[in-house]
Structure 1
Amino acid sequence: MSELRAWAQEKGVEEVECHTPDFAGIARGKVMPAAKWFTGVQTRLPTSVFFATITGSYADSPHRELWSDADMILKPDLHTAASLPWATVPSIQVIHDVLDLDGKPIDFAPRTVLRRVLEQYKDLGWLPIVAPELEFYLTKPNTDPNLPLEPPQGRSGRTQRTNQAFSMQGIDEYESVIDHIYDFAQAQGVEIDTIIQEFGPAQLEVNLVHGDAMIKADEVFIFKRTVREAALRCGCYATFMAKPIEGHAGNAMHIHQSVQSIESGENIFSDAAGQPTDLFRWFIGGQQKYSYANSALWAPYVNSYRRLVPDMSAPINLEWGYDNRTTGLRVPRSGPNNRRVENRLIGADTNPYLAIAGSLAAGLLGIRHKVEPREHVVGNGFEGGRALPYSLLEGLEAFTKSEDLADVLGQKFIDMYAALKFEEYDAFMQVISPWERQHLLLNV
């Protein structure tokens, strides 16, 4: 704390953002004067921040002891302290863990859930390593949700209307936004590996450098807000909606996963001869077995399932293959030290802590139960048909019935998360869409 205080004084920091991620991955917290925060004052939030739905309403907790909406204590994780480069006054942000009034971690909070999974790996002497890849669209400002989204004008004055994957000119069109993203990310210590033009018009992908799973989840949490702020600086929006524009590819968050031995630093997916290990196979087997239920985490909204459709560059199967982008699980070609599994099922609209926790939990369960994977796919994985839920309700049903996932993630979290998602689904069902009026009004 003393080092951070000295740094803040040197930089003239005036305010501190104290926040924690909710189930949607939204930062919830308080802003206070830096002088007050550095006194060590205890900061609190009501438990109801974890009942808040994406629409702003509140879900009923299935646990009666939470109905009082008691305070939670915010405990700063000083390793996450970073500047807030878009703030109007010199400011820093600090991600906080949340504790009950007895000082015990709130067991259903997203960071706690991920830490619970990582501790189970640590008990085995292992450290998961992940590398997230985030896709998002830039759009014109849209203040009327009844209107479809449109790509913004680039620096040429023209608007992208077609798919231009990996186009360098496409990157140049949005150079101003990208420059702001780089500057903001660097100021916050977020390590960007690459930026590319993705398949959709004005769709970009940013790859983050691989590292410790909790650190990378923190970076994604920060980075999504960073991208939105960078876009606003340039007069446009950035969206991580899973399917923001009809007829174009959706937004994914692919996660590359490997596991190291804490003692030796070696990749447990490769043996001394450089060949795949049983642990590698079982990890894939677990991904296949538990990903259907994990869809509730990886496709958390009604809109999420619009991404998971055929012929839209999104996987709809639970197969795996070597360097095969038609499968939900891809094993990139690499040397033994870099052997890893890329989970391509996850949407960009997910909470990064919960998405990573679910994926690592699936792999851990595969190892624990020695789940053998199916034979890897050569060729077109789409030919095998759909193996994912068609809707949020199907995903939630499987998620709530998985005793194995509850054992790793925590039953209370499963209960709380599912209650909130059912509430969001019910809210969606109150809305009558243009499609229904168009096709049903005079025909049925």
Structure 2
Amino acid sequence: FVPSENSQALSGTGMHYLAGLLKHAGDATVFACPTINAYKRFRPYTLAPDRIVWGRDNKGAMIRVIGGTDDPASRVENRVGEPAANPYLYLTSQVWSGLDGIDQKLEPGAPVETPYDCKAERIPATLVDAVNNLQTSRFFRQRLGDQFVDYYLTIKNAEIDRFMQTVTDWEQREYFEIF
């Protein structure tokens, strides 16, 4: 991925890989952020991403590209993932996405300077949104198989159902004295 020219963020192959990450980001988010709590940090101006964009050494962008010409430490950093992610599923989703970008020779477009102010697709805002994205993802169904995707979705939907049935401390504090 190391670029050979000063004006490049990454090599041609690296740029295609990056474009694949962006193309499949919405569908892969459930693997990077498998918990309900993970989505609460995707807010503007918090140095956590909220849109599917890339930038050069920009912590607000979903994909942060760091490095430069002949820099062996050049890298692509996906800032969506959370520590609770299963590393095997998260990395698998990223590798498949990036390889698809290489295979299709996708282009990522220009980097953003102000990721919170640009018009771009948003990262799924909730686990429900991420589950719905994976449900309809032909790409991940082809790569991982319908049986696996359906099983994973069953687990995630069961988590969501359990959460929705729980009365939280916040709800009790917010409404107890009013009603």
What TM-score, normalized to structure 2? 0.86
Paired amino acid for 2:32? W
2:13 counterpart residue number: 279
> CA contact under 8 A between 2:46 and 2:60: conserved in structure 1?
no
Residues in 1 aligned to 2:36 and 2:55: alpha-carbon distance in whole angstroms: 29
> CA contact under 8 A between 1:365 and 1:404: conserved in structure 2?
no
Question: 1:388 aligns to what SS in structure 2?
Answer: coil
> CA contact under 8 A between 2:31 and 2:93: conserved in structure 1?
yes
1:417 counterpart residue number: 152
Instruction: Give 1:353 deviation, angstroms.
Output: 0.8
Query: Pairwise CA RMSD of aligned residues?
Result: 2.2
- 1:321-357 Cα distance to aligned partner (Å, 9 max, x none): 1111121101112435443211111111111111111
Structure 1 residue 291 corresponds to structure 2 residue 22: no
Question: 1:305 aligns to what SS in structure 2?
Answer: helix
Residues in 2 aligned to 1:376 and 1:312: alpha-carbon distance in whole angstroms: 19
Aligned partner (choices 65, 68, 71) of residue 331 of structure 1: 65
Structure 1 residue 350 corresponds to structure 2 residue 88: no
Change in 2 beyond 3 A, CA 1:443/1:369: farther
Higher percent of residues as strand: 1
- 1:380-436 Cα distance to aligned partner (Å, 9 max, x none): 322237711111111011112111122223322211111101011111111111222
Instruction: Give 1:271 deviation, angstroms.
Output: 6.7
Question: 2:116 aligns to what SS in structure 1?
Answer: helix
Residues in 2 aligned to 1:273 and 1:363: alpha-carbon distance in whole angstroms: 22
Paired amino acid for 1:440? Y
2:52 counterpart residue number: 318
Paired amino acid for 2:45? D
Paired amino acid for 1:382? Y
Residues in 1 aligned to 2:16 and 2:137: alpha-carbon distance in whole angstroms: 18
Structure 1 residue 303 corresponds to structure 2 residue 37: yes
Residues in 2 aligned to 1:409 and 1:336: alpha-carbon distance in whole angstroms: 34
Aligned partner (choices 95, 115, 122) of residue 381 of structure 1: 115
Which segments of 5 or more consecutive residues in structure 1 lack a partner in the other structure? 1-268
- 1:135-183 Cα distance to aligned partner (Å, 9 max, x none): xxxxxxxxxxxxxxxxxxxxxxxxxxxxxxxxxxxxxxxxxxxxxxxxx
**Stretch of structure 1 that moved more, 324-333 or 307-316:** 307-316
Alignment of 1:23-38 (within 5 A): none
> CA contact under 8 A between 1:323 and 1:332: conserved in structure 2?
yes
Question: 1:348 aligns to what SS in structure 2?
Answer: coil
2:142 counterpart residue number: 407
Aligned partner (choices 111, 127, 152) of residue 392 of structure 1: 127
- 1:195-251 Cα distance to aligned partner (Å, 9 max, x none): xxxxxxxxxxxxxxxxxxxxxxxxxxxxxxxxxxxxxxxxxxxxxxxxxxxxxxxxx
Structure 1 residue 371 corresponds to structure 2 residue 120: no
Instruction: Give 1:272 deviation, angstroms.
Output: 6.6
- 1:252-297 Cα distance to aligned partner (Å, 9 max, x none): xxxxxxxxxxxxxxxxx34776864332222111111111111111
Residues in 1 aligned to 2:95 and 2:150: alpha-carbon distance in whole angstroms: 20
Identity of paired residues, percent? 29
Residues in 2 aligned to 1:369 and 1:348: alpha-carbon distance in whole angstroms: 31
Alignment of 1:78-227 (within 5 A): none
> CA contact under 8 A between 1:330 and 1:341: conserved in structure 2?
yes
Q: Which has the higher contact order (CA 8 A, sep 6+)?
A: 2
> CA contact under 8 A between 2:45 and 2:60: conserved in structure 1?
no
Give the total of aligned pairs. 175
Residues in 2 aligned to 1:375 and 1:342: alpha-carbon distance in whole angstroms: 17
Change in 2 beyond 3 A, CA 1:376/1:442: same
1:251 counterpart residue number: none
Higher percent of residues as helix: 2
> CA contact under 8 A between 2:2 and 2:74: conserved in structure 1?
yes
The structure having more radius of gyration, on CA atoms, is: 1
Paired amino acid for 1:423? A
Question: 1:294 aligns to what SS in structure 2?
Answer: helix
Change in 2 beyond 3 A, CA 1:383/1:361: same
